[in-house]
Structure 1
Amino acid sequence: MTSNDMEKLDAVLSGLATDGGPGVIVSVQRAGVPLVRRGYGLASLDSGLVNTPATKMRIGSTTKHFCCVLALLLRNEGKLSIDEPIARWLPELPASQGARTVRQLMNHTGGMRDYLDLSLLSNGLTIVPEEAAFDYQCRQQEENFSTSEQFMYNNGGYRLLSLVIERVIGKPLAHAMRERLFEPLSMYDTVLWSTDLDPLPGSATTHLVHPDGHFTKSLFPSVILGEGGVASTLDDMQRWLSHLVNPALWPHTLSDELMAPTTLSNGYINPYGFGLIHENWRGMTVLHHAGGVVGGTCQMLAAPEQDIQIIVMSNRSDVTAADIAQKLLTALLEPQLTPEDEPADPQLGASLGGDYYCDQSGRHFAIEAREGKLYLVSFGMPLPLLRDGESGLKVNLLSIIVFGIVAVRDSSGAVTAIHVTEQGKTHRCERVSQPVQSASSVEPFSGNWRSDELGADIVVETGERDVLRIVGLYGRNVFKLQPLRGDVCLLSSLDPHVPLHGTLRLRQGATGGRELMLDTSRTRRLRLQERADHG
C-alpha cells in the first residue's frame, strides 16, 4: 500500500458528511490489512453520537444471500428441495402462486408480484402489521410474468423464502441466522433486526433528506426478514465477506453456487445468482450486492483476485453506498482497469429526446438530456445512457438494470421509434409525437375502481389536480396523473419519499366494461375493476 493509494482513497472520502448531518461508515481491506476503517457524520441527530466502525447499520437487500446460504445448507442436509413448488411448505398460497420453486425465489425469476411494491402503492409509508406481507402474497391470483421468463427483483419472493426456511427448521429466521451463521463466525454484532420499532443498542438511526436540506428520522414501513432485515458492523461484514470467498462453514461449491449466473428460458444469462452478483467489471472479476432501506444504503463489494474487500453503509437517503464503494475500488485499481464505457453524447437529445411507448407490452420510456448528460427514463428512474458501438446506446446499472437502445429512423432520418432490448427481449416503442395536453384528457379514466389483489379502493379524480387516490388495507397513497395518450397516463407518487412511478392504461375488460391496467417497475398488469357504484 503506497501513500499515493491512501491519497486516492482520502480523495473519495474527504467530502462525506461535512454538513453536520448523518453519514456513512466505510471499511476497505487489501490482503486482510485494513486500509480504511472509519465512520463519518452522525449516527443520530437526537443524541449527537458520531458514526464509528462499531456502529450497527442496516444492510438492506445485502441480507438476501444470507437467506440463500441457509436454504442451500438445508438442501445439503436433505431437509429442503430448492426445485420443489413452495406450496409444499406454504399451502395457504393460491395454486397459481405456490407453483414457484425455492430456486426461482432466490434468483428473482418466479414472476409473482412483490408485497413491498404492492404495499407502497396502496399504503405509502404507513407501517403495516407483521402478517401484511404474507397476506399480500396470498391475495395475488395473477402474475407479472411466467416463471423463468424474466428476472424481476422481488422482495416478496424473499419473504416467502424466509417463511419456507422457518417452517422447515421450526424456528424463527433470526434464531437460525444467529445459531448457524453469525455465532460460528464470531459475528456477535450482527442480528436480523426485523423492525425499526424494536430498539437495537449501538445502531444508527436512518434519515430522510428533504428538498430544503433538513433531515427527518425514517422507519421501514414493515417487518423485514430475509429480504433485507440484517443489521451489522464493518468488522462483522468484512469477516463475512472473507468467509464467503474462502468458506469454512460450508463447502466451496456452495459459495460457487451462490455466485453462479441465472439463465432465463430464452437463453439470456443474467449475472445475478442466489442473492449475489458475480461478474466482470472493467476487466476485473467482482462480487457484490447492494442494499437499501428507507433512509439508508449499503454495498458489499469484493475483487477476489486482487484480494480487495469494501463495505460501505450509510444512514442518510442522499448518499449511495454503491457509488462510494465503486469509486474506492476504482481508486485502488485504476491503472489495471479497462476504460469506462463512454457516456452518450447529450446532443443526441435533440433528435432522440421525448416519450416512447410500446402498445404490445405497455412499456413507456423517455429519453432526456439533464445537466449535460443523456438519460433513459424507465418508470421514473433516470438511467445514464452510454455509447454502445457506432450508433447504439445502452444502460447498465449494477448489472441488474440493463438495456440496449437502437433508434428507428424514417427515410428522412427522423427518429420514429426505438428498439429497447431487455433480457433478450426487444420492445418496439413508437415515438409519442406530442403527449396529450387537453384539460379533459384524464376524463376517460375517471371513476371509482377496485383491486382485490391490492385490497384497495381507487378513485380517479379529474379537474384541477388529475390524481389517482388509493385507499389501501392500512394506509393510502396519491398519484399525479399525466396524460401520455388518450388511453395511457403516467403516474407518480406525490410523496417524494415514495419514489413510485408507473403507467395506467385504459382498456376494455373481459365483460365489455372499462378496465384499468397499472404497471410499475415491480408490478405488471395489475387490473383495476370498475365498481358498480361508479357515477
Structure 2
Amino acid sequence: MQADGKPARRLRMRPWVVALGALVLAARAGAQAPLDTVALAAVADRLFAPFAVPGNPGCVVGVAHGGRPLLRRAYGLANLETGTPLTPASVLESGSVAKQFTAAATIRLAMQGRLRLDDSLGHHWPGLPAPLRGLTIRQLLSHTSGLREWSTLVEWQGWPRGRRAHTQEDLLALLQRQRGLNHPPGVDFSYTNSGFALVPGLLERLTGRSFRDVVRREVFAPAGLIGSDWRDDFTRVLPGRAQAYARRGGVWVLDMPFEDVVGPGGMLTTVDDWLRWPWALARGDLGPGLLDSLATPTRLRDGRPTRYGLGLYVGRAFGTRELWHTGATAGYRTALLWYPERDVLTVAVLCNAASANPRALARRLAAVALGAPPDNAPPGPPLPSSAARAFLGVYRDVRTNVLVELDSAAVAQLRRGPDGWAWGPGGEAWRWSRSPVGGPVLLRRDADGDTAALVRLAAARWRPRAVELAPYVGRYRSDELGATAAVTLEDDTLRLEMDTRPGRRWTLLPRAPDHFLAGSTTLRFERDATGRVVALHLAQSRVWDLRLERLFIP
C-alpha cells in the first residue's frame, strides 16, 4: 500500500530505462569502472530508433573509451534504391569535421619547418591579391581571417551548392575577386569555409604533391586511419559509400555533394576511423604538441579567447573538457565529440539523412557514458504576456547586419530563465541591455554561448504600399560577385534576378523601411543624403556586408 492508503501500482519500466539506469550507476561508480556495453547499446537503440524505420536513410554511431571501441552500430539504409543497409563499415562524408584533419596536416608541415602558422599566405603563394596575401595561415585555420563564405557568394550568383559542380579553381577565382572582408583579420571570429578551402592549394605549393596525398602521408597513415580519403573528384566510384538524402515534398530524394571542393569538408570516412583519431592524437602518434595546437583556443588581437582552436571547437560539457565539431554537406550530417580528461571518451555519429541532428544524439550518448545529467537545464515558466510583448519587433544584428524578427508566435514560446534571460525553444536566450552609447539593445545568446547585440528597427513588420516600393526598382552591380541584380516591382511585390542565373528570381519580403528578406538573405537599400536609393547591401551570417552599386540613379 502507498502512504495515502491507495493500492500501489506496479511500475513497468521499459528495458531501455533499466539499461540507462544501470549504465549511469556504473559510470558513477568510479572513473576506472568499465562501461556497460550492453546497456550503452540499449540506450543507442532507443535514441536511433527513428532511423531504423524501413525504407529510411539513417546513421552509424560509435563510442570508444581509452582507445577501445565500446559501441559500433548502424541504423537505416545506405542506399534507398538497392535497399543496402548501413553498417559500421559504411563510408560517409564528413562535412566540416574534416577541418581538424586539414589543420593537422598543416601543423605537421609546420613541425617539419616547411611553414610557420603565423606566416602570411602571400609569403608562400606569390601573386595573390589583397586582402588574401596578408592573411596568416593561423587565421585561415581559426576562422579569424574575416574571409567571406564562398558558398554564400555562389548562392547569390544564382548557383547554390548542389546546383552546379563547383571546383577548387572556381572557388579560388571567386575569392580573388573579393575586396572586402567581414572584419579586419584577427579582430573577430566569423566561421567560414573559405579559409580552409585555400589551405589545399597552399600545401600543394609547399610539397609539390596533391592535397589528397599530403593528408594521407601526414595524417591518415600515422593515425592508422585506413578507411579515409577525400572527395577531390566526385565522379570517382567508391565501394561502400552511403548515398545522402533529404526529405522534400514528403518523400526522400538524393542530396549528394556533386563538387570537387575539399579542405573545409569533403572527407570520406568511417566510424572506426573517427573513433581511432582522438586516441591517436592523445598518444602523440602524429608528434608531440599537435593536439595542443589543434585544441588551444585562438585569441583575437585584443586578447579575447574564441571557442575555436585550429579546426576544432573547444569547450566544457558535463563538468569536463569537450573537443568537438559537427558537419553538414548536402544530405550528410555528422558529429565527433571527445572528452580528453575522461580517458578520451569519444562519440562519433555519421548520418546520411539531412533531417538528423547528430550533435544532439552524440551529446545524449556522451551524457549517459559519462554518468552525467543532460547538459541543458529544464525550461522555466512562460514569460508573463507583458514581458513577452516587450521582445516583439524586427531587429538588425549589429555585427552581421542580418535581420531577426520576433513575432507573436516566437515570443509566446519564451520562458523565464536565470539572471533576467528569456529562453527560447532552440536553446537561445534573450535579454535587454544598453549599448556603450546608451541606446537599448537586445542580446541574443546561442546554445554555445556566443552573444550578439541586436538593435530594433521596427516594433512591427513594415507593410509598404506599391508607391513606397517603387524607389527600389533598378539595376545594381557588384564586381566582387561578378553579377548585376535587377530589382523589379510586380503585383505590389519586389523581385530580384541576377544576370548570372536568368530565370531564378528572389521574392523580397519587407520587414522594416529599406530592409527586406529573401530566404536567409537580408537585403538593405542604402540612401544618400537626399534620400535617393544608391546601393543594395546583401548579408547572411557568414557574409556580413556585400555592396552592389546602383547603375543609374534617377
TM-score range, shorter chain: 0.7 to 0.9
SS in 2 for 1:95: coil
1:345 CA displacement: 5.0
Give aligned pairs, total: 504
Q: Residue in 2 aligned with 1:72? A: 107
1:327 CA displacement: 1.5
1:73 CA displacement: 1.2
1:491 counterpart = 2:518:
yes
Q: 1:242 aligns with which of 264, 275, 279?
A: 279
Shift in CA distance, 421/329, structure 1 to aligned 2, threshold 3 Å: closer
Letter in 2 for 1:236: D
Say if 1:353 and 1:368, in contact at 8 Å, map to a contact too. Answer: yes
Within 5 Å, which residues of 2 pair with 1:420-499?
A: 420=444, 427-430=453-456, 432-440=458-466, 441-464=468-491, 465-472=493-500, 477-492=504-519
Q: Residue in 2 aligned with 1:191? A: 229
Q: 1:173 aligns with which of 190, 211, 214?
A: 211
Within 5 Å, which residues of 2 pair with 1:103-502?
A: 103-122=138-157, 123-124=159-160, 125-130=162-167, 131-210=169-248, 212-251=249-288, 253-307=289-343, 308-333=345-370, 335-337=371-373, 340-343=376-379, 346-347=382-383, 349-357=388-396, 362-367=401-406, 374=413, 389-393=418-422, 405-407=430-432, 418-420=442-444, 427-430=453-456, 432-440=458-466, 441-464=468-491, 465-472=493-500, 477-492=504-519, 500-502=520-522
Residues of 1 paired with 2:139 and 2:529: CA distance?
Answer: 31
1:234 CA displacement: 1.1
Letter in 2 for 1:502: T
Letter in 2 for 1:31: G
Range moving further from structure 2, 361-370 or 282-291 = 361-370
Structure 1 residues 111-160: Cα deviation after superposition (integer angstroms, max 9, x where no partner): 12122221122212322442110011101011111111111111111111
SS in 2 for 1:265: coil
Say if 2:166 and 2:261, in contact at 8 Å, map to a contact too. Answer: no
Residues of 1 paired with 2:379 and 2:440: CA distance?
Answer: 23
1:371 CA displacement: 8.7
Residues of 1 paired with 2:453 and 2:551: CA distance?
Answer: 33
Residues of 1 paired with 2:521 and 2:86: CA distance?
Answer: 34
Shift in CA distance, 431/321, structure 1 to aligned 2, threshold 3 Å: same
1:360 CA displacement: 8.7
Letter in 1 for 2:174: Y
SS in 2 for 1:43: strand
Consecutive unaligned residues of structure 1, counting only runs of 5 or more, are 376-385, 410-414, 493-499
Residues of 1 paired with 2:333 and 2:464: CA distance?
Answer: 41
1:477 CA displacement: 4.8
1:266 CA displacement: 3.6
Say if 2:472 and 2:533, in contact at 8 Å, map to a contact too. Answer: no
Q: Residue in 2 aligned with 1:13? A: 48
Letter in 2 for 1:519: A
Cα RMSD (Å): 3.1
Q: Who wins on radius of gyration, i.e. which is larger?
A: 2
Range moving further from structure 2, 212-221 or 131-140 = 212-221
Range moving further from structure 2, 296-305 or 262-271 = 262-271
Range moving further from structure 2, 128-137 or 337-346 = 337-346
Using the size of structure 2 for normalisation, the TM-score is: 0.83
SS in 2 for 1:525: strand
Letter in 1 for 2:197: R
Percent of residue pairs bearing the same amino acid type: 25
Say if 1:94 and 1:140, in contact at 8 Å, map to a contact too. Answer: no
SS in 2 for 1:466: strand
Say if 1:110 and 1:146, in contact at 8 Å, map to a contact too. Answer: yes
Shift in CA distance, 147/404, structure 1 to aligned 2, threshold 3 Å: farther
Letter in 2 for 1:59: S
Shift in CA distance, 396/21, structure 1 to aligned 2, threshold 3 Å: closer
Shift in CA distance, 439/42, structure 1 to aligned 2, threshold 3 Å: farther
Q: Residue in 2 aligned with 1:380? A: none
Say if 2:337 and 2:362, in contact at 8 Å, map to a contact too. Answer: yes
1:370 CA displacement: 5.7
Consecutive unaligned residues of structure 2, counting only runs of 5 or more, are 1-34
Q: Residue in 2 aligned with 1:89? A: 124
Say if 1:509 and 1:515, in contact at 8 Å, map to a contact too. Answer: no
Residues of 2 paired with 1:475 and 1:309: CA distance?
Answer: 48
Residues of 1 paired with 2:358 and 2:244: CA distance?
Answer: 14
1:337 CA displacement: 4.2
1:427 CA displacement: 3.2
Shift in CA distance, 127/13, structure 1 to aligned 2, threshold 3 Å: same
Say if 2:295 and 2:313, in contact at 8 Å, map to a contact too. Answer: yes
SS in 2 for 1:325: helix
SS in 1 for 2:174: helix
SS in 2 for 1:71: helix
Residues of 1 paired with 2:470 and 2:124: CA distance?
Answer: 46
Residues of 1 paired with 2:95 and 2:233: CA distance?
Answer: 12
Residues of 2 paired with 1:133 and 1:53: CA distance?
Answer: 34
Range moving further from structure 2, 111-120 or 176-185 = 176-185
Structure 1 residues 57-93: Cα deviation after superposition (integer angstroms, max 9, x where no partner): 0011111111111111111111112112111233343
Structure 1 residues 478-535: Cα deviation after superposition (integer angstroms, max 9, x where no partner): 332111222111221xxxxxxx43333333399x861111111111210111224x89
Shift in CA distance, 31/79, structure 1 to aligned 2, threshold 3 Å: closer
Residues of 2 paired with 1:338 and 1:14: CA distance?
Answer: 20
Shift in CA distance, 128/91, structure 1 to aligned 2, threshold 3 Å: farther
Letter in 1 for 2:419: E
Structure 1 residues 372-430: Cα deviation after superposition (integer angstroms, max 9, x where no partner): 9847xxxxxxxxxx866331247899xxxx98742259xxxxx9752457999863512
Letter in 2 for 1:458: A
1:243 CA displacement: 0.8
Say if 1:344 and 1:393, in contact at 8 Å, map to a contact too. Answer: no
Letter in 1 for 2:496: L
1:318 CA displacement: 0.7
Residues of 1 paired with 2:397 and 2:93: CA distance?
Answer: 39
Between Structure 1 and Structure 2, which shows a larger proportion of strand residues?
Answer: 1
Residues of 1 paired with 2:284 and 2:424: CA distance?
Answer: 34
